[in-house]
Structure 1
């Protein structure tokens, strides 16, 4: 008889019982980030209807909308030449009546190695293109971990990444999350950063190409049309489970949209 307990991560209690909206930083407002924002709009409304305080989002991106972004990313022709973050946040606020914020700068430390006050949040969601950006975010979040004695201290990092047909979403804790005693489950307090667990693989697989696409056709040679939206929906479903059910058996997944395969990553 198998007596091994199922490994579970229980959500930090602050995310479930907060009297104030949970602060969220979304880093990147492109193909994935623009669709993650839409999912968070839906999630926020649903949480509020269920009696939760909801979420308060700040979207970081210093890029502007180009004609190549239309179609694959969530932008309209009238938004060309606007900052991506401003266009998306203005639309979200008009649609949902929220007061979310846009940042038109990169999410990074200043020359003195400090972060602006606005960079502090409980939940970080990264939707960035390069491995270098992920390591920079990991460095920042390690610094943010020093705020863990605050009530609204950083708790989680949800990272989205993809290539043309494949992608992954990885949930990490920022430090350890206090777990309740459980007779039924084996609780797991710490979930490693994507840069710690898959750092070498990320470095080996990276093919740096920061050249902007000049057309939608060129952009689709780099990323398939629906890979970003598929990752956004599945990744935000994982996030929804943390809020709605207060626990998760899985801390992410790998997705291959070309042959429609998804592989969950269990809590370990």
Structure 2
């Protein structure tokens, strides 16, 4: 009788320098609003835990040129004392004081017109928490250019994108180049995770007509985004990053989340 061939489970083995780095792993966090602010706190907790476990930890730069206004209070992590400050500065100052880190705030947009320093633009992991489709495409273009022209120590490897509507959202991990995979008898290692801007181009373009005008009040902001969608995405997305650092193997490279019916759908590595 002919033996049936068993289909191996697809996995992604994480770049080794994330697991046993000599220096802190660099992360560029783009966007310090609803999701970015929540995620920054999660990253600080992650860094504290990693260093306690003997890891070199992470180093984060936050890019955002927006300032805190009254509509941000309540839904985003800002106080009245921070009104008029740059969001990135307010958040980074708070994190550095609380956790004793030396992370940096960049009060600029992460776009081609602002970035002329490849050392600043490039990080091993780029995390985007942006509101517009155009911003995602521009980030993708910058990261691809860095992959082609930058070969420094912080050469970009991974892109983790966060996006949401009123009560749903997604977090998707991509690679910017082939990540060398070890041989495995048990699994089928996958060296490329497709870019969100390629894989979900139709979905992104379908959402392009969404209302992206700034909100003038908390009530108006809550009509566009649920109070807890950002924190729910940030915590689940941070769990994916934690799995990368601690386990070094991914069976899922993201997820789709719907808070309206409390449903999460994992995105399998394929």
2:137 aligned to which of 135, 138, 160: 135
Structure 2: segments with no counterpart, 5+ residues: none
Aligned pairs for 1:1-268 (under 5 A) are 3-110=6-113, 114-146=116-148, 149-268=151-270
Structure 1 residues 66-121: Cα deviation after superposition (integer angstroms, max 9, x where no partner)? 1110111111111011000000000000001000000111001238x844531121
Distance (whole Å) between structure 2 residues aligned to residue 66 and residue 152 of structure 1:
34
SS in 1 for 2:27: strand
Question: Judging changes above 3 Å, is the alpha-carbon distance between structure 1 residues 148 and 5 closer, same or farther for their aligned structure 2 residues?
Answer: farther
SS in 2 for 1:65: coil
Structure 1: segments with no counterpart, 5+ residues: none
Contact (CA 8 Å) 1:71, 1:216: kept in 2 or not?
yes
The CA deviation at 1:187 is 0.1
Contact (CA 8 Å) 1:28, 1:128: kept in 2 or not?
yes
TM-score under structure 2 length normalisation: 0.96
User: RMSD over aligned Cα, in angstroms?
Assistant: 1.4
The CA deviation at 1:191 is 0.2
Contact (CA 8 Å) 1:147, 1:153: kept in 2 or not?
no
Distance (whole Å) between structure 2 residues aligned to residue 2 and residue 103 of structure 1:
53
| Greater shift in the superposed pair: 19-28 or 205-214 | 205-214
The CA deviation at 1:148 is 6.6
Question: Judging changes above 3 Å, is the alpha-carbon distance between structure 1 residues 22 and 46 closer, same or farther for their aligned structure 2 residues?
Answer: same
Distance (whole Å) between structure 1 residues aligned to residue 16 and residue 88 of structure 2:
30
Distance (whole Å) between structure 2 residues aligned to residue 149 and residue 70 of structure 1:
41
TM-score under structure 1 length normalisation: 0.96
Distance (whole Å) between structure 1 residues aligned to residue 150 and residue 10 of structure 2:
24
